Amino acid sequence: MHLRNRLGPGLLALSLLGGLATASQAQNESPDFRSHPTTTPIRHLVVIFQENVSFDHYFATYPTAANPAGEPRFIARDDTPSVNGLTQQLLQNNPNLGNPNRLDRSEALTCDQDHAYTPEQSATDHGAMDAFVQNTSDTSGGKPLTRGQCDIPTRSSPANDFAVMDYYDGNTVTALWNYAQHFSMSDESFSTTYGPSTPGALNVTAGNTFPTLCAANAGTVAPGGNDPDVYDAAGNVKPCPGGISTKAPAGSEVGSGTGTMVSDADPYYDACASASGTAAQGGRNIGDLLNEKGITWGWFQGGFSSPNYDPGESSTFDPATICKGMHYNIGAGADKEGEPCTTSTPAKPIDAFCTLDYSPHHEPFQYFASTSNPSHLPPSAINKIGKSDQANHQYDLKDFWAAVDHGNMPAVSYLKAERAQDGHAHNSSPLDEQRFLVDTINHLERTSDWDSTAVVILWDDSDGWYDHVLAPVTTQSQTGLDTLTNAGQCGATTSQVPMGQQARCGLGPRQPLLIVSPFAKQNFVDHSTTDQSSVVTFIEDNWDLGRIGNGSTDATAGSLRNMFDFDNHERVDRLFLDPMTGERH
In terms of Cβ atoms closer than 10 Å to its own Cβ (0-12, 13-18, 19+), residue 134 is middle
Cα gap 206→225, rounded to integer Å: 18
Cα gap 515→47, rounded to integer Å: 9
Are 584 and 175 contacting, i.e. CB atoms less than 8 angstroms apart? no
Residue 226 predicted with pLDDT over 60: no
**Can you give the pTM of this predicted structure?**
0.89
Mean pLDDT for the stretch of residues 539-563 = 97
Cα gap 202→520, rounded to integer Å: 26
In terms of Cβ atoms closer than 10 Å to its own Cβ (0-12, 13-18, 19+), residue 431 is buried
Mean pLDDT of the residues in the chain: 86
| C-beta neighbour count of 485 within 10 angstroms | 18
Give pLDDT, residue 141: 66
Are 531 and 193 contacting, i.e. CB atoms less than 8 angstroms apart? no
Are 113 and 425 contacting, i.e. CB atoms less than 8 angstroms apart? yes
* 211 band by pLDDT with thresholds 50, 70 and 90: confident
CB neighbour burial string for 364-384, b if at least 16 within 10 angstroms, e if fewer: bbbbbbbbbbbbbbbbbbbbb
Orientation of helix 286-293 relative to helix 197-206, angle to 10°: 30
pLDDT more than 90, % of the chain: 68
Q: Which H or E element spans position 437? A: helix 430-445
- 284-318 pLDDT, tens digit per residue, is 999 999 999 999 999 999 999 999 999 988 899 99
Cα gap 221→119, rounded to integer Å: 34
Residue 251 predicted with pLDDT over 50: no
Q: Which H or E element spans position 514? A: strand 510-516
Cα-based distances in Å from 211 to 65, 304, 370, 379: 44, 25, 15, 29
Cα gap 375→224, rounded to integer Å: 13
545: left (phi over 0), alpha (psi -120 to 50) or beta: alpha
Domain parsing of the chain, residue ranges:
324-357
- 46-84 pLDDT, tens digit per residue, is 999 999 999 999 999 999 999 999 999 999 999 999 999
Are 203 and 191 contacting, i.e. CB atoms less than 8 angstroms apart? yes
Three-class SS state of 284: coil
Lowest mean pLDDT among 156-160, 173-177, 286-290: 156-160
* 34 band by pLDDT with thresholds 50, 70 and 90: low
Q: Which of 131-140, 157-166, 380-389 has the highest mean pLDDT?
A: 380-389
Cα gap 261→474, rounded to integer Å: 18
- 237-250 pLDDT, tens digit per residue, is 554 333 322 233 34
Mean pLDDT for the stretch of residues 266-289 = 85
- 322-361 pLDDT, tens digit per residue, is 999 999 999 888 888 889 998 655 444 455 689 999 999 9
Q: Which of 127-131, 225-229, 243-247 has the highest mean pLDDT?
A: 127-131
Are 183 and 518 contacting, i.e. CB atoms less than 8 angstroms apart? no
Are 252 and 278 contacting, i.e. CB atoms less than 8 angstroms apart? no
Give pLDDT, residue 32: 42
Give pLDDT, residue 351: 55
Give pLDDT, residue 63: 98
Q: What is the DSSP string of 5-31?
A: HHH-GGGGS----SPPPPHHHHHHT--
The rounded radius of gyration (Å) of the Cα atoms in the chain is 22
Q: What residues form DSSP beta bridges with 425?
A: 428
501 or 240, which is more confident? Answer: 501
- 403-454 pLDDT, tens digit per residue, is 999 999 999 999 999 999 999 998 999 999 999 999 999 999 999 999 999 9
Residues counted in the chain: 585
DSSP 90: H
Q: What angle do CA 123, 124, 128 make, to 5 degrees?
A: 130
| C-beta neighbour count of 581 within 10 angstroms | 18
Q: Which of 349, 215, 335, 341 is nearest to 274 (CA)?
A: 215
The amino acid at residue 272 is C
